[in-house]
Amino acid sequence: MSLKKTTELFYSSIRYPGPNTTMSKQWSERISEYIKKSDNFYFLDAGCGSCRHLAGILDDYKNSYGVGIDLSNPSLKAGENFLNSFNFQGRFELHKKSFSQKLKFKKKFDVIFAIGSIMTSKDYEKSFRNLCANLKKGGLLCGMIYSERGHQRRYEIKEMLHLLTKDPKVMMDLYPHFKKKLMDHTINELIQKIKNYYYQAKLKLKGKSTYYGYAAQENITKPVFFLDTFCAPIDYGLNTKDFQRICNTNNLQVLKLAGYEKYKAKNIDNSLAKILDHMKLWDQIRFNELFDQYPKSLSFILKKK
Ligand SMILES: C[S@@+](CC[C@H](N)C(=O)[O-])C[C@H]1O[C@@H](n2cnc3c(N)ncnc32)[C@H](O)[C@@H]1O
């Protein structure tokens, strides 16, 4: 395989997460705080890939209707076969459309998902604007975007791999040189890893593995994840200041932002919390983000005011 120069060519070749995808209930679970299982709602999955999240939502919310859009025709084709295999015919439609351009649908959506898709296209401000223009007042915009801090080391490794070779297969062979060894992890990181394994094993035993997202970092050697992680032509991270701008421009209110929206984020002791108490919401969010020693991606649930 050669390096693909555009997002469309790249995702058409890998069909993320590929034809062997499994249904994901990760986002179905996350929205359950705001939407009842019996609710009748119309949703968009923007950058749906091969439709693992779309399938999870349709399965759990029997009165929902989903629209999936993606740049990649082969992903949409794989997605259509995947959704039909669960007999979801008549409850979804898929279109080759780009959220980098203005979008028009039959009506505005109650919920829009953009799960790991916006940062693979240029100009996130435009993408958020185009999506929000199709969201109802009171509707939810949900998704995930990489965080600048959380992905810093990955970007460094990506740069090194691209200095060494232009062949993705060779990159895959070289990757073990850059992988963190056991001793490179802090004790807290190791504890977190053990907790994650335990959580995954528990879900597996309960037959609920679909509620766990792909742990891409753990499965990094699997070709699709490896390529997505190190060979995507466009791939950047945002921070909470970017979200502040996005929310202000598009009239959005934060319901969830990687847990940073909580006034007392994890591990903040009382003396700091007392100062935080007097800070504005977006300053608290930024503080919590910078205080986090192990930042991950930014999962968000935003509400249109
Ligand atoms: C990392 S994959 C995520 C796929 C899916 N959301 C998931 O989590 O399984 C990113 C997807 O976004 C799509 N994408 C990127 N830019 C896009 C755009 N401007 N319009 C529509 N889809 C886009 C890609 O084709 C790709 O399928």
Does 11 share its domain with 127? yes
Query: Pick from 123, 145, 167: which residue ends a domain?
Result: 145
Position 293 in a domain:
yes
CB 21, CB 82: distance < 8 Å: yes
pLDDT tier, 216 (very low <50, low <70, confident <90, very high otherwise): very low
pLDDT tens, residue by residue, 47-66: 999 999 999 999 999 999 99
% of the chain surpassing 70 pLDDT: 96
Pairing verdict, β 252-257 and 41-46: unpaired
Strand order in the sheet with 298-304: 92-96, 64-70, 41-46, 109-115, 135-145, 298-304, 252-257
DSSP per-residue letters across 43-95:
EEEET-TT-HHHHHHHHH-TTEEEEEEES-HHHHHHHHHHHHTTT-TTSEEEE
One domain for residues 123 and 192 = no
Looking at the structure of the chain, the number of domains it has is 3
Give the pLDDT confidence score for residue 259 in this predicted structure.
Answer: 94
pTM reported for the whole predicted model:
0.93
Distance CA 86, CA 288 (A): 41
Confidence category of residue 212, pLDDT binned at 50, 70, 90: low
CA distances from residue 161 to 154, 168, 177, 185, 230 in whole angstroms, order as listed? 10, 9, 10, 22, 8
| Assigned domain for 2 exists | no
Which range (134-138, 141-145, 223-227, 253-257) has the least confidence? 223-227
Using pLDDT thresholds of 50, 70 and 90, give the confidence band for residue 279: very high
Rounded distance from Cα 229 to ligand 1 centre (Å): 13
Tokens in use for 110?
């109650």
Which DSSP string corresponds to 242-299?
HHHHHHHHHTEEEEEETTTTSSS-TT--HHHHHHHTTS-HHHHHHHHHHH-SS---EE
Q: How far is the CA of 16 from the centre of ligand 1 (A)?
A: 8
Ligand 1 and 4: CB distance under 6 A: no
Write down which residue in 202, 230, 258 finishes a domain. Answer: 230
Q: Looking at the structure, tell me whether residues 194 and 95 fall in a common domain.
A: no
Residue 257 lies in a domain: yes
How remote is the CA of residue 230 from the centroid of ligand 1, in Å? 15
State the residue range of the domain holding 22.
7-145
Report which of 305, 301, 304, 268 is spatially closest to residue 287, judged by C-alpha positions: 268
* Eight-class DSSP state of 4: P
Burial degree of 136 (CB within 10 A; 0-12, 13-18, 19+): middle
- Please tell me the predicted confidence (pLDDT) of residue 294: 87
CA pair distance 216, 94, nearest whole angstrom: 26
Closest CA to 305 of 249, 263, 260: 249
Residue 66 Cβ < 6 Å to ligand 1: no
CB 112 within 8 A of CB 140: yes
Which distant-in-sequence residues (6+ apart) come within 8 Å of 65 by Cβ?
Answer: 41, 42, 43, 91, 92
Cβ burial, residue 89 (10 Å; 0-12/13-18/19+): exposed
Give nearest CA residue, ligand 1 atom 18: 98
Calculate what percentage of the chain has a pLDDT beyond 90: 75
Q: What is the mean pLDDT of residues 76-100?
A: 97
Q: What is the Å distance from ligand 1's center to 247 Cα? A: 22
Q: Ligand 1: distance of its center to the CA of 215 in Å?
A: 18
> Helix or strand or coil: residue 115?
strand
- Which residues, including other chains, have CB under 8 Å from residue 157's CB and lie 6 or more apart? 175, 178, 230
Q: Is residue 133 part of a domain?
A: yes
12 and 127, same domain (yes or no): yes
How many CA atoms does the CB half-sphere of 10 hold within 13 Å? 21
Alpha-carbon span 99 to 128, nearest angstrom: 8
17 lines ligand 1 (CB under 6 A): yes
Q: Which of ligand 1's atoms lies nearest the C-alpha of 17?
A: 9
**pLDDT tens track for 92-115:** 999 999 999 999 999 999 999 999
Is there an atom of ligand 1 within 6 Å of 100 CB? yes
Asked if 137 and 157 sit in the same domain, the reply is: no
- Nearest atom of ligand 1 to the alpha carbon of 75: 27
Pocket test for ligand 1, best of 14, 26, 70, 214 (most atoms within 8 A of CB): 70
End-of-domain residue from the set 145, 177, 204: 145
Question: Quick check: CB of 143 below 6 Å from ligand 1?
Answer: no
